[in-house]
A and B are shown apart, each in its own frame.
Chain A
């Protein structure tokens, strides 16, 4: 079983929205038809997007941290949006685990969007069908593209390489390694949807320096000269360590 998915590294995402615009560009030009917009250059612009980047502030001032959070369909392994669809337009592919909507069968009842706890589905207000991230299914299998480009548009566009793409069921894939070794986690695990997309947490690199690591009590380079009196009381690192 293959389960294609994205792994998004929140530690390096800078919130540039390149994945949003490249997603919109690729998918609005695709064979499935445009993604409609209303008032794009006017008051209250609105439109259909498969991907959004949101921003959260974590912590209490002044110890706050800005987290940019790209948000697209998680291609759940147990997608709650699929069984509720009355027509079968919403389906999960067995071959690669991508959750898709058949735009020719969708009746636009919006029930699947109610059944997605993440709010990842958006109705196209003009085509009147439900739309969602396809993981660029029209791109990743396109043999006319160079192999290195057979990736979702958002992955290609990310300047900081925050988006990894691959098979999360293959334990040796880049995405599985990232999830395993860098603490990848799913969103809202409480609903048992088993999202295939994972997020990599923010990481802190800290070093701990003690005072006696900064001050040499007896400097061997100046051993012949007169030693400055010790300012540190008690045993120091120099008493126990070979430098």
Chain B
């Protein structure tokens, strides 16, 4: 498939925003049961939610560049019963709304004790909103990933590993950002976030490498025999019906040379996993903001490469019909 940067930025930026929100709720849940103490929680959660919201808004903004008619984008909420894309279009603004409410509740300290328990739980309304947001956050990850995983003939994508990768890679980048954010805003949380960022990044490494290994051994169900319906082991295309390009030759091929394609794979394997892990390990003890911020930036750059490779690797069966110019 042709990797579109609008979709690459949509999925990676909203993944960061979602992961950061999950990180905030994690800290609040820890604090609610007394595992950790929070200093100045309203600023920490309020500004953190704002950052998450900015990432989500940037992702939403990027998504509009994918549309031929962005002014009709509102129509895409219509088919939520059948279309994962429609579901994503509904869940993304819904999630942004919840993140906004979560941030506002914290920043202005509107946190009534709705559960009627005061010890050890504190900040109960915002905690409830955070838990609802967590459910919606995972729903958004699933919607985004299922857009790709539900297409059964894109065999590289049609696997539960796609969903696992979207969840774990998004969450990993969000927790890495949360580590850098904590180093600035609440240094005593840096180690907590860094440890989680390392754990989630390592989990993402497992599922992503697993999906790479799976896709290496993939057996394509379609061939020229089934595409044209002629039972012969030697079928060669002589003409695709036109001499230059068409939508079919542009949209379904990544167009990069083999070396570039492989280089991007190794680039993301290095940038998403070992480099941020080393930087996190180096920066977590001293809460070195620059090192932790570098960890996030490197990982995010790696995720752009990862998403590019994710699209480029998928081999659409329609390509069987477009192999020879002539």
Contact = CB atoms under 8 A, between A and B. Distances in A.
Interface of A: 17, 20, 39, 43-49, 52-60, 66-67, 69, 71, 80, 83-89, 105-111, 113-119, 122-123, 125, 127-129, 185-191, 199, 201-202
B153 interface: yes
Contacts of B226: 187-190
Contact of A108 (B67, B82, B248): B67
B91 to A, nearest CB: 12
Contacts of A67: 228, 230
A80 B67 CA distance: 20
Contacts of B242: 45, 49, 52
B206 interface: no
B222 A117 contact: yes
A125 B238 CA distance: 27
B316 A185 contact: no
B85 interface: yes
Question: A53, A55, A119, A127: which has the most chain B beta carbons within 10 Å?
Answer: A119
Nearest to A47: B246
Interface of A is mostly: loop
A71 B79 CA distance: 29
A118 B316 CA distance: 9
Given A85-B79, A87-B72, A107-B76, A116 B232 contact: no
A56 B240 contact: no
Given A67-B230, A106-B68, A190-B226, 7 more contacts: A55-B326, A58-B232, A58-B236, A87-B86, A119-B319, A125-B247, A187-B228
| Residue in B85, B221, B228, B247 whose Cβ sees the most chain A Cβ within 10 Å | B247
Interface residues of B, number: 58
Contact of A52 (B228, B229, B241): B241
Contacts of A71: 241, 321
Contacts of A85: 79, 83
A117 B228 contact: no
Interface in B177-230: 221-222, 224, 226-230
A53 B89 CA distance: 38
Nearest to B230: A58
B112 to A, nearest CB: 38
A187 B227 contact: yes
Nearest to B153: A117
B243 interface: yes
B55 interface: no
B111 interface: no
A49 B236 CA distance: 23
A20 B229 CA distance: 21
B244 interface: yes
B79 A109 contact: no
Contacts of B243: 45
A56 B68 contact: no
Interface in B312-326: 316-319, 321-322, 326
B147 A56 contact: no
Contacts of A80: 151-153
A57 B252 contact: no
Contacts of A39: 244
A119 B322 contact: yes
Interface in B76-105: 76-79, 82-86, 89
Contact of A56 (B1, B79, B82, B235): B235
Contact of B238 (A56, A106, A199): A56
Contacts of A111: 83, 85, 147
B40 interface: no
Nearest to A45: B244
Given A57-B238, A66-B238, A48 B227 contact: no
Given A20-B241, A189-B226, A199-B229, A108 B69 contact: yes
Nearest to B245: A46
A33 B83 CA distance: 28
Contacts of A54: 237, 239-241, 321
A109 B66 contact: yes
A129 to B, nearest CB: 6
B69 A113 contact: no
Given A108-B67, A109-B66, A56 B73 contact: no
B247 A48 contact: yes
Contacts of A53: 241
B39 interface: no
A87 B75 contact: yes
B223 to A, nearest CB: 9
